[in-house]
Amino acid sequence: RWLTGRLAVAALLVLGAGLAVALGGWAGVAGQGIGARAMLAAGLNTAVPGLVVLGVGALLYGLAPRLAAPVLYALVLWSFVVETFGTSLTDNRWVLDTSLMTHLGPVPAADLQWPTIALLLAAAALAAVLGAIAFGRRDLVSA
């Protein structure tokens, strides 16, 4: 129960950050013809990788807590490096697809890719549930 409550709060914070990005972006482009709906889509698009990292983090914390932080930092760093420098370093699609952000479109310039978002969110939810189950089975002594 402890982990599931924390996961719910963290997921709400990630979604709130995506909403803040959307509203801040909308305020920044006011008067340029980009509507609030398009910016809300962009905010959702930015929250999806965060939710995936949260789900993977819960899974790692439940299975191997000492590895959770280094692996998550590596995942975020790798995704950033591949997204920023990937196409200038390689054209290998397999390498580029390892970034969490490669699969999401450039919203609001393009439409949301709902099948991709659904797949990423399902993977994040599955990882979080499996992590909570693994955490519940750990042999922890309460003080």
> Distance between CA atoms of 24 and 108, rounded to whole angstroms?
14
Q: What is the CA radius of gyration of the chain?
A: 17
At 74, give phi and psi (nearest 5°): -65, -40
Helix, strand, coil distribution of the chain in percent, nearest 5: 75, 0, 25
How does DSSP classify residue 106? -
Q: Which residue has the tokens 């393009």?
A: 110
- 52 by Cβ neighbours in 10 Å (0-12 / 13-18 / 19+) ranks as buried
User: What integer pLDDT is reported at residue 141 of this predicted model?
Assistant: 67
pTM as predicted: 0.86
Digits of tens for pLDDT over the chain (143 positions)?
Answer: 667 788 889 999 999 999 998 888 888 887 787 888 888 888 898 899 999 999 999 999 999 999 999 999 999 999 999 988 988 888 888 888 889 888 888 888 888 889 999 999 999 999 999 999 998 887 766 65
Instruction: Tokens for 115, please give them.
Output: 């099948």
At 132, give phi and psi (nearest 5°): -65, -40
Distance of CA 77 to the CA centre of its chain: 13
> Distance between CA atoms of 136 and 8, rounded to whole angstroms?
16
Our CA dihedral for 69, 75, 80, 86, rounded to 10 degrees, sits at: 150
